Chain A
Amino acid sequence: MDLLNGFVALANFVLIPAIAYGSQLALGALGVTLIYGILRFSNFAHGDTMAVGTMFAVLVTWGLQAMGVGLGPFPTALLAIPFGILGAAAMVLLTDRYVYRFYRAQKAKPVILVIVSMGVMFIYNGFTRIIIGPDDQRFADGERFVISARDFKEMTGLAEGLSLRTSQVITVITAIVVVAILFWFLNKTRTGKSMRAFSDNEDLALLSGINPERVVLVTWLIVASLATVAGVLYGLDRSFKPFTYFQLLLPIFAAAIVGGMGNPLGAIAGGFVIAFSEVGITYAWKKVLGYLMPPALQPDGLMQMLSTEYKFAVSFVILVIVLLFRPTGLFRGKSL
């Protein structure tokens, strides 16, 4: 038994990747949950909103790289995030102006808006592919590792390496900062409180003089920012491919629903639940168990419950279980 090496292997292959992935999902789920709470429908275009924002950020990153502008050890994409947010914000505001506003004026039922968002999803989908193409794009630069596996082994003399990528550290720090700002905004500012009031009771908000169009505008701006940040972080951690972002919709919705739709805290918790389940179930545990179990009990197989190709099945199963046994989610959802 070798607890230390076992723990290092666990951290390297499960904990660190899951925490980074969980932060990205949490940011995505926060966007979904805000739309659900305030505009009252599930926005199926969210994955592609992330793709649009990330696409703008990637294009600007390439431009900056070509001009020789960089951030040294940090990825240039961090500089491009504000431009990505601008692009995504322009896109969602135009969509709101020419699509969603019509349905609001009709007082359309939310389920109609769900279907409308699906149409918007296809448009965004095509838009991204026309501009940047359907292929994998890499835009990460700067120092790749904070600690590489080899350095770690040399430093500690352990048999197992622990690698910590720059993108993972940046993801977690950015997620914490963004979430802190969002919660401060929702709970402390006048505009944030008016958004919560609108989410809680639309008629009474109207009678208190809160302008619904302004609430909707601010919501879209926040959602565009969250989506872009989540998208860029995910792209830095892996790579940018429009179809992958569309597929992210499933784990993101699973995260939002597991946490309780409309509850921002739940979205964060849900993001980590989904990320840890996905990584944990698709990871081959043989190595970690080899360190942790007495030699006689060591497993022969890979101890991998599902192959990584089936990772989406994990979020889907969790989604079904939650909807069957606790449809309101871990934290009671509904309003912000």
Chain B
Amino acid sequence: MSGNPYQDDRGNTDASITNPHGQGTLTSAGTQPNPMPGKPGPFLVGENMTGGYGKTGPDILHDCTIEVERGEIAVIVGPNGAGKSTAMKAVFGMLDLREGRVLLDGQDITQLTPQARVRHGMGFVPQTSNIFTSMTVEENLEMGAFIREDDFRSSMEQVYELFPILREKRNQAAGELSGGQRQQVAVGRALMTQPKLLMLDEPTAGVSPIVMDELFDRIIEVARTGISILMVEQNARQALEIADKGYVMVQGANGYSGTGKELLADPDVRRSFLGG
């Protein structure tokens, strides 16, 4: 597949000698530990991003631009396979950009690894495998705060206030929780790093409509504390309702963009994408 003979296991599935559980897939695109000077502007800018997976994979993103202002909620919506999640991964450094750059707070972070971006204030909640299932809720939050040298008790208290159910379940293994509660743990873990920008990849995938509304409420609450939010969403209508800025992606490129309300009112977007 990748052409690397070391990654060819010749179909081995014997779990008594190899442990497939929780194996890492992150190949960090960046190499540089420190950001380069960029230019002042919106808090996060993904500028003219073009790229795909791997060194040789086909381009998935085509000249895609995404901007998030401080304390705003930006939402990326679009049909299946439009490259929504890919755009977010590009912003986070999980795939190679062939063109374009990413600026965070006016600094060029295009060459940074995802881990390094976390240290520069980006929090990322992946769509799947976003919690440590075998660890308790509290341990999940502690691991979120792993890079912090200071006392993180107050952050944990804030997370528990935001998601009271987690306080009740603090000593329970996170893998035993319901889908909605798992998402709360995942968001809570990301918040423990005290990010300036929180990126959520389909936070409401697979949860019930009631839980979804509650999660959106919580996300608005997080944004009110001054954290910028970039979110990829399947449930376009609800997501655009809470969005300050919306991007509709079509085939890896910017289709439409504007405030959430503008997009909801746009007849083209409604007809082709929101179902009338």
Contact = CB atoms under 8 A, between A and B. Distances in A.
Contacts of B22: 199-202, 335
A193 B141 CA distance: 11
- Chain A interface size band reads 35 or more
B18 A207 contact: no
B115 A209 contact: yes
B15 A194 contact: no
B7 A108 contact: yes
B126 A204 contact: yes
Nearest to B147: A209
Given A40-B19, A114-B17, A327-B15, A196 B134 contact: yes
Interface in B1-42: 4, 6-10, 12, 14-27
Interface string A138-173: 000000000000000000000000000000000000
Contact of A110 (B19, B25, B26, B131): B19
Nearest to A212: B24
A73 B239 CA distance: 75
B247 interface: no
A226 interface: no
B170 to A, nearest CB: 14
A252 B97 CA distance: 48
B21 A109 contact: no
Given A204-B131, A205-B143, A109 B7 contact: yes
A210 B16 CA distance: 27
A103 B22 CA distance: 18
Nearest to A115: B17
B131 A109 contact: no
B184 interface: no
Contacts of B124: 207
Contact of A201 (B10, B115, B129): B129
Nearest to A36: B19
Nearest to A103: B6
B119 to A, nearest CB: 7
Interface of B: 4, 6-10, 12, 14-27, 114-115, 118-119, 124, 126, 129-135, 139, 142-144, 146-147, 189, 193
26 contacts: A40-B20, A41-B17, A41-B19, A103-B6, A106-B6, A107-B4, A107-B6, A107-B7, A107-B27, A109-B6, A111-B9, A111-B14, A196-B135, A197-B132, A197-B146, A201-B133, A202-B22, A202-B23, A202-B26, A204-B130, A207-B114, A208-B146, A209-B115, A209-B118, A335-B21, A335-B134
Interface of A: 36-37, 40-42, 103, 106-114, 190, 193-194, 196-197, 199-210, 212, 257, 261-262, 323, 327, 334-336
6 shortest A-B CB distances, which residue pairs?
A202-B24, A209-B147, A110-B18, A109-B9, A108-B6, A42-B17
